[in-house]
Amino acid sequence: MDTRVEKKKLSLRERYHLMTRGLGWEPTYQPTEKVFPFTAYEGIKIHDWDKWEDPFRLTMDAYWKYQGEKEKKLYAVIDAFAQNNGFLSLTDARYLNAIKIFIQGVTPLEYYAHRGFAFAGRHFRGEGLRVACQMQSLDELRHTQTELHSISVYNKFFNGFHNPLHWFDRVWYLSVPKSFFEDANSSGPFEFLTAISFSFEYVLTNLLFVPFMSGAAYNGDLSTVTFGFSAQSDESRHMTLGIECIKFMLEQDPDNVPIVQRWIDKWFWRGYRVLTLVGMMMDYMLPKRVMSWREAWEIYGEQNGGALFQDLGRYGIREPAGFRDACDGKDHISHQAWLTFYTYDPVAAFHTWVPSDAELDWLSAKYPESFDRYYRPRLLYLREQQAAGTPVANKNLPLLCNVCQIPMFFTEPGDPRRICYRESVYEGERYHFCSDHCKSIFDHEPEKYVQSWLPVHQIYQGNCFKPGTDPTAPGFDPIKAVLDYYEINNGRDNLWYDNSEDRRNFEAWTAEARGN
Amino acid sequence: MAVKTVKPYRFAPRDTVDKFPAPLLYIGWEDHMMFVSPICLPVPPDTPFQALMDKILPDAYGMHPDFAKIDWSKVQWFKSGKPFVPEPAKTLRENGLGHKDVIRFRTPGLEGIGGAYF
């Protein structure tokens, strides 16, 4: 009888090493720089790729197992929510306009992130880093799918949910998140990780996820909350990838410091500008509010961000160039954005409204420095005009910032009475910006941003009408033609909440569910 | 500075004047943020500056209760943020306005709805 040989079980550490570092090899048929053409051109110097530390030590087989388990739970809740008409327990259908912005403007970014991390995973050297990027690429694809599935239940009952991917590529306000991510995806792999993993996911992510997921919980949206839980453990991995990448670059060579600093300056500001939409959602769109944008900024931006940059000081990194101006904006940007969307609601695929008196008082309490002085009178005027049957709508197209692509409604730091105008001339063409920081991004890489697809200019160039449209025909209505091109249902997806089909339906259905 | 790339990187600017029906003019009314941001309009270069005040601005801003109160003799003009004195009888081109120029006008004494710059 043979002696039974005890099979040696690998330790977690050995197993991780074999399943990551053990998967790499040095190419011999082709020179390394041809196999990895993007690792050096950004100027980042790496001397030892093995110094990359992955704190999670997660291997692919374990990854599949965890994700599979989370998926089962998530889809059980999504089914239960749909079968029990869970949407009837929402605080109010106004809430869903925040979710419309999410599926129109954030979900497509998850897909872009999937592509970006697939690219980074392919083009980095160093197996630890490559495996981490590959996993994140899969996470992001999963988030795209699970968000679409969690939110699709609302598409059966409400407007503004039916065409998010078509809108993402065309509609004016969605060019803000779209151009942000395309800027990152067209960067080299190191800048991409600084942009997305560090600046967005490590520094700013709490300002995106906390409001959306707590907002969903506060407002009875069990479907979106469950998605949030399902994504949470992935997000913590993503955040760690961000900080590890920054430390890795900074520790490898002192020449990397100024390059990384410039990327942090750029991507902090790019991300902060995109989050304007989130600020507006927190202060205006949640019937039951979580906290104000100002409070969230003070905790997650000023305190946490401030501490982080102090910590990175030992590598020679300082706080991002736009940090002070971002702090200055905390009393204003959410109000300015909401007023913009209100007056441009005829061309947006979600509804806006004037807050109730109790909500105005909440805003006064949260914004003692700015709300009663600047924003309450504006909202009261909008309410008055709406009651008189002449709602204030802007018919002219706005000047957009050439970098962040947001209409130029931001005011001067320190002076909320004046719009902030900046401009540059490059090769004889003039370009306009909302801030010093967007201007500085342009001035550093003008060749990139002369290509900006600015929705307003595209409309005037005639590129936003359906084929066969004749702009010279008598009685041509450009706004209607653009809505047609966008495939926004005029009168249903757009315009103000008070007279919307969403409101009428929600009130009728909840009355039916709760009475006789 | 220049963008770092692996290959030569040159693309034509997307918004040159030849692509539009007329050069773009950006206009901002100071202290009146009901209009959110400066507006963007294609305006033929041979348009007299007077037509801007007689037709284009009333179409764009006439809905604001302050607009009717403007004393045009007191209006201050700015081009790219610097004081600018237009000659109303001359055309936009003769006034030195070209594609993607931004002009602003301030109407002293008028500070929007409720004095809230709206």
pLDDT at residue number A6: 72
The C-alpha atoms of residue A66 and residue A64 are separated, in whole angstroms, by 6
Cα(A177)–Cα(A200) distance, rounded to whole angstroms?
A: 12
Of A54-63, A152-161, A400-409, the one with minimum mean pLDDT is: A54-63
Please name which of A378, A441, A374, A382 lies closest in space to residue A411, comparing C-alpha atoms: A374
DSSP 8-class letter at A56 = T
d(CA A384, CA B64): 14
Classified as helix, coil or strand, B76 is strand
Name chain B contacts of A462, Cβ cutoff 8 Å: 21
| Buried b or exposed e, range A385-397, using 16+ CB within 10 angstroms | bbeeeebbbbebb
Phi-psi region of A119 (alpha: psi -120 to 50; beta: other; left: phi over 0): alpha
Contact A419 B33 (CB under 8 A): yes
Tell me whether B7 touches chain A (CB under 8 Å).
no
Q: A409–B37: do the CB atoms touch at under 8 Å? A: yes
Helices in A124-204 by DSSP H: which ranges?
A: 127-155, 164-168, 175-185, 189-192
Q: Reduced to 3 states, what is the DSSP secondary structure of residue A400?
A: strand
CATH number for the segment(s) A49-507:
1.10.620.20
Min mean pLDDT across A75-89, A437-451, A462-476, B63-77 is at A462-476
First to last CA, chain A: 80
ipTM of the assembly? 0.97
Total residue count of chain B as it appears in this document: 118
The label of the residue with tokens 């839980």 reads A229
In this complex, the residue of B6, B9, B60 whose CB is nearest that of residue A447 is B9
Domain B21-115: CATH class, spelled out: alpha beta
Q: How far apart are CA A126 and CA A224, in angstroms?
A: 36
CB-based contact (8 Å) between B28 and chain A? yes
What per-residue confidence (pLDDT) applies to A209?
A: 80
Give per-residue pLDDT as tens, A260-307.
999 999 999 999 999 999 999 999 999 999 999 999 999 999 999 999
Mean pLDDT of A87-96: 97
Between residues A463 and A3, the one the model is more confident about: A463
Q: Is the per-residue pLDDT at A68 higher than 70?
A: yes
Q: Dmax over Cα atoms in chain A, in whole Å?
A: 98
Cβ contacts of A187 on chain B, cutoff 8 Å: none
Judge whether residue B46 has pLDDT over 80: yes
What was the pLDDT predicted at B65?
97
**Helix, strand or coil, per DSSP, at residue B103:** strand
* DSSP 3-state of A353: coil
Query: Does the pLDDT at position A486 exceed 90?
Result: yes
A222-252 and A60-83 helices, crossing angle to 10°: 150
| Least Cα separation, residue A224 to chain B (angstroms) | 32
Percentage of chain A beyond pLDDT 90 is: 83
**What pLDDT was estimated at residue A1?**
59
C-alpha span between A269 and A368 (Å, rounded): 26
Would you say A266 and A441 are in contact if contact means Cβ atoms under 8 Å apart?
yes
In sequence order, which residues have a C-beta less than 8 Å from that of residue A390 and are 6 or more positions away? Answer: none
- The residues pairing with B27 across neighbouring beta strands, listed in sequence order, are B39, B103
Strand pairing report for B24-29 and B101-106: parallel
Render pLDDT for A230-252 as a digit per residue (tens, 0 to 9). 888 898 889 889 999 999 999 99
Q: For the packed helices A436-444 and A256-274, what is the interaxial angle rounded to 10 degrees?
A: 130
The reply to whether residue B38 touches residue A419, judged by beta carbons under 8 angstroms, is: yes
User: Do A423 and B41 make contact, defined as CB atoms within 8 angstroms?
Assistant: no
Residue pair A211/A281 in contact (Cβ under 8 Å)? The answer is: yes
Q: Most A CBs within 10 Å: which of B5, B10, B15, as the mutation test of the A interface?
A: B15
Stated length of chain A: 516
Q: How many CA atoms lie within 13 A of B74 on its CB side?
A: 7
Alpha helices in A404-452 (DSSP H): 436-444, 446-449
Query: Which pLDDT score is estimated for A14?
Result: 86
Q: Do B19 and A374 touch (CB under 8 A)?
A: no
Query: CB of B67 within 8 Å of any CB in chain A?
Result: no
Q: If we measure between CA atoms, which residue out of A178, A227, A185, A228 comes closest to residue A206?
A: A228
What pLDDT score was predicted for residue A102? 95
Mean pLDDT of A194-205: 93
Q: Do B15 and A417 touch (CB under 8 A)?
A: no
Q: Say how many C-beta atoms besides its own lie within 10 A of residue B36's C-beta.
A: 24
| CA A100 to each of CA A36, A81, A147, A216, A223: distance values in angstroms, whole numbers, following the listed order | 40, 18, 12, 13, 14
- Which residues, including other chains, have CB under 8 Å from residue A326's CB and lie 6 or more apart? A268, A269, A272, A297, A301
Dist CA B5 CA A354 (whole Å): 48
Please choose, from the candidates A273, A404, A270, A378, the residue with its C-alpha nearest in 3D space to the C-alpha of residue A329. A273
Residue A28 pLDDT level (bands cut at 50, 70, 90): very high
Q: Is the Cβ pair A430, B118 closer than 8 Å?
A: no
- CB within 8 Å: B11 and A38: no
Given a cut of 80, is residue A3 above it in pLDDT? no
Q: What is the dihedral of CA A364, A366, A368, A371, to 10 degrees?
A: -50
Would you place residue A17 in the very low, low, confident or very high pLDDT band (cuts 50, 70, 90)?
A: confident
Q: Which two tokens stand for residue B50?
A: 């007077």
Q: Where are the alpha helices (DSSP H) in A367-445?
A: 376-387, 436-444
Coil/strand/helix, residue A30: coil
- Which residues in chain B are contacts of A395 at CB distance < 8 A? 60
Q: Do A373 and B11 touch (CB under 8 A)?
A: no
Tell me the percentage of chain A whose pLDDT exceeds 70: 100
Structure confidence at residue B1 as a pLDDT band (50, 70, 90): low
- Return the pLDDT at A59: 84
A339 has a chain B CB within 8 A of its CB = yes
Tokens coding A77: 């809740």
